[in-house]
Chains A and B, each alone.
Chain A
Amino acid sequence: MALSRDAYKALQAVVGSKYVSEDPGTLAGYHYSWGGPNGRWQPFVPLAVVLPEDTSQVQGVVRVCNRYKLRFKAHSTGFCSLAFPGVEDTIMVDLRRMNRIVEIDEKNMFAVIEPYAIAAQIQAEAMKRGLDCHIVSAGPTHSPLASATSVWGIGSKGLSQSWNERNLFGVEWVLPTGEVARLGSPGVGAGWFSGDGPGPGLRGIVRGTNGAYGGNGIFTRIGLKLYPWVGDERMECTGSQPQIGLKIPERMHFSLPYWKNWEDMTAAAYKIVDNNVAFSVLRVPPDCMNWMLTSTNDEYQEAFHKGSVPIDREEHLHAWQAIIAGHSEREFEYRKKVFEQIVKDTGGKFLQLTVEQNEILFAANVRISYIPRVFRPTGDFSTSFGMEESINLMGKLHRTGENLLGKYIGPGKLPDHGREGFWAWLNEGRSLHSENAFAVTEEPGVQAANMAYVMESCRVTNSEALGVQILPGYMGIFADSLGPANFNANEWMRKVKYEVVDPDNVADHFTYIFPEPVVLMPTE
């Protein structure tokens, strides 16, 4: 269907004619992305794209969609195909003009942000005030508003910064019906410091382990929790592109201890959290660390085949990257000393890296800038076994993931980049985040193997009692496959979408929950 002229004029009236486009060249940018099941060109071209500049314009656009029976899809920094239309007759609401950090409340450690304020920008401003923002795995160019309200929101500094589902304070939300709801303290004009109450916490219908990826409306402003930062106000870059590092500040220390097996590494993890000595603790697959430490695929391949990569797939399999930080010199020295003792007591050793290598990995940990290197081998990747549960499950998670992934690697199936892509980190010292990421390509055989593997991994995580799925998670077509094993969570999502927030299904449901069940493959 083409956009009616009346609808087009109505959109122009809301945002101004300069900020509505149905130019095919412009629209092409809104249906080309990695991560879709059918290659890079996504199946649906939006009818038009609009760029509102504030909440009232967003509200106006949503009302136009309701009036003309159109659908809309909210889009901020747009990490993957989930950010693009999944259904026909969609108006793309690109929020890039709403890019302000409205406020940083230094004392109370939160920021008030709009959808296109990116993490790098917020982090830079926060660091000037001795604060830091949680940056998710999508990297420093991501929208923290999107990750806190609508997407996964997980990042490797979870030990000291939790994750963005829990970092969400006050919420301003344009519902698919066109009303604007303000959740928590901003709802009564008290500021943005709380998103819970009065009474029940409606944050619980904004999102869960996953968000709705725009399927429940458009979030236009939030309060975002910030965290203490003991490093420099302005970080000093070292190296040269693409091997950029950060000078490690005083009272911060980066190291890479490794152990002989998962059990010893797990024991160390429990001691680290019990003694509260680390700022962040992250496990990265050895290959991925080597991607970070080489500047091109060719350089990596050459080093790999010569056996000269710094991180060995076998010897350094069970390794944490750890950052120790202290608010005072005394605290820093105490933590470093205890940390080193923990490594020793649990049979670990420290891998000796060069200053340059340490600075590159330190930068990747602070800015969460691993993601370009994850894309580097094939230009695409997928993930599985995205779990969040007890630290004690680490070994079991890794072994199960490795064994299963191995079955799907081979000619015509998944490319061989090693059998494991196990990322893990400690969240708040209370749980373990894990996921098994792996390289894919756009070839149909690879995509088919990817889908089959991911669905089987969902079944296996259930049958092996590994916890609740975050990744790939409840995205549209997966929800009705996963939900029955989780007390019919899919049916509650459906009620939230169609009974509570969007009875006319105006917000694109494709990445959230379909009106009727769509079961790809039972996972019970």
Chain B
Amino acid sequence: METLIAILIGILFAGGVYCLLQRSLVRLVIGIMLIGQGANLLTFAASGLTRKHTAIIKSGETILQAPHADPLPQALVLTAIVIGFGFTAFCLALLHRTYKTLGHDDLEKFNTTDTDK
């Protein structure tokens, strides 16, 4: 299971970086989203992936017995997903505004702030 998830994380990161290197603004946002999901999945996998055991303390015991998945990274990943959601919304708004103002979405032409004009 871990191996499968690890490969999936790798694919998400690779796909995201590939999109980031494209010239279109939309793919830039998609790239950020993909890498973000990769990082979220990585955080989730940090809890250890076990099936059939819930992270609930059984009656009569005082601490959680192994094996179980650690619930903390799952809480963390929820936070990260929400933050990522906000950023994606902002990115889309920025993309829309940029496209309307500049009239194109070609990143190659985004060099006016780098040159002295």
Do A and B come from the same complex? no
B interface with A by C-beta (< 8 Å): none
A interface with B by C-beta (< 8 Å): none
